[in-house]
Amino acid sequence: MKVARLPDGSPEIFHTLQGEGPSLGAPATFLRLSLCNLHCCWCDTPYTWNWEGTPWPHQDGTKFARTEQIIELTPTQLAPLISRHQCNRLVLTGGEPLLQQKELVELTRLLPDVPFIEVETNGTQIPDDDFLAQSTRFNVSPKLSNSGMAEKLRLHHEALSLFSSHPEAIFKFVVCSRAELEEVQSLQDRFQLSPDRIFLMPEGRDPATLHDRSLWLAEICRDHGYRFSPRLHVLLWGNTRAK
Ligand code: SF4
């Protein structure tokens, strides 16, 4: 499996608190997979996809050497690195984890002591039956136009329809400006989402930006029945890896 590699050469597996979405504040072990099919301009993990020699623009302007940012491990090698944290919740994140869903099924089957498997996904990949059966919750984050991605790449109708009918899927939108409320409402209508399944989260990789955007975003959530999500890990530790 292709896993994000930390500067010390180890795979990005860490024990922390879930910083976003419905499990906010819950202790969790995170596994950060490498590779993504999207290339969002504000992505906070560009080291999972923004390789040297690729044309993708990003706000940071940094390109990464692919071989330095990926560590390849088998599910059998990864399982003990996760279970050693003795945490009942595993968050599969990326990058886009569903690009490696077959391997993730194999991995999670090796973790019987981790009953809660939470998946962070951009909602463009269709989970197969095995992956659906192994996963407890999907935090689906369809990207808005603020990502810089073309609509045909960031919105996958079949995948989003499937997730909209999944009882344990919520929808988390990354918001940069008030004007994006219209886009959220349009997707809410298109996929028949009840407002309590919608989380709005400010875009930002530093506490000051998050604070400024939270002030008006919280009011939008209150007025429209949405749920607000902070980015707890950024508020606590800034834009630090493995936190
Ligand atoms: S989908 Fe997520 S991981 Fe992929 S580029 Fe966008 S923000 Fe980054």
Q: In this structure, are strands 70-72 and 2-4 parallel, antiparallel, or unpaired?
A: antiparallel
- Per-residue confidence (pLDDT) for residue 199, from 0 to 100: 98
- Per-residue confidence (pLDDT) for residue 105, from 0 to 100: 98
Which pLDDT band, with edges at 50, 70 and 90, does 226 fall under? Answer: very high
Average pLDDT, the chain: 97
Q: How far apart are CA 74 and CA 2, in angstroms?
A: 9
Our answer on whether the CB atom of 100 is closer than 6 Å to any ligand 1 atom is no
Backbone angles phi, psi at 125, to 5 degrees: -115, 140
Cα dist from 190 to 43, 155, 230, whole Å: 25, 11, 25
- Residue 232 CA, ligand 1 centroid: distance in Å: 18
- Per-residue confidence (pLDDT) for residue 198, from 0 to 100: 98
- Per-residue confidence (pLDDT) for residue 103, from 0 to 100: 98
Number of Cβ within a 10 Å radius of residue 65: 11
User: 96-142, pLDDT tens digit by residue?
Assistant: 999 999 999 999 999 999 999 999 999 999 999 999 999 999 999 99
Probe ligand 1: pick from 122, 147, 153, max atoms within 8 Å of CB?
122
Q: How far apart are CA 219 and CA 215, in angstroms?
A: 7
Peptide bond into 94 cis (omega under 30): no
Cα dist from 81 to 3, 6, 77, 170, whole Å: 12, 14, 7, 28
- Determine the average pLDDT of the residues in 178-188: 98
- Per-residue confidence (pLDDT) for residue 90, from 0 to 100: 98
Burial class of residue 152, CB neighbours in 10 A (0-12, 13-18, 19+): exposed
What residue owns the CA closest to ligand 1's atom 7?
Answer: 43
- Determine the average pLDDT of the residues in 205-211: 96
Cα dist from 144 to 42, 51, 121, 174, whole Å: 12, 23, 14, 7
Q: How far apart are CA 236 and CA 137, in angstroms?
A: 25
Our answer on whether the CB atom of 134 is closer than 6 Å to any ligand 1 atom is no
CATH architecture of the domain with range 2-171: Alpha-Beta Barrel (3.20)
Give the 3-state secondary structure of residue 138.
Answer: strand
What are the residue boundaries of the structural domains of the chain, listed by start? 2-171
User: 54-88, pLDDT tens digit by residue?
Assistant: 999 999 999 999 999 999 999 999 999 999 999 99
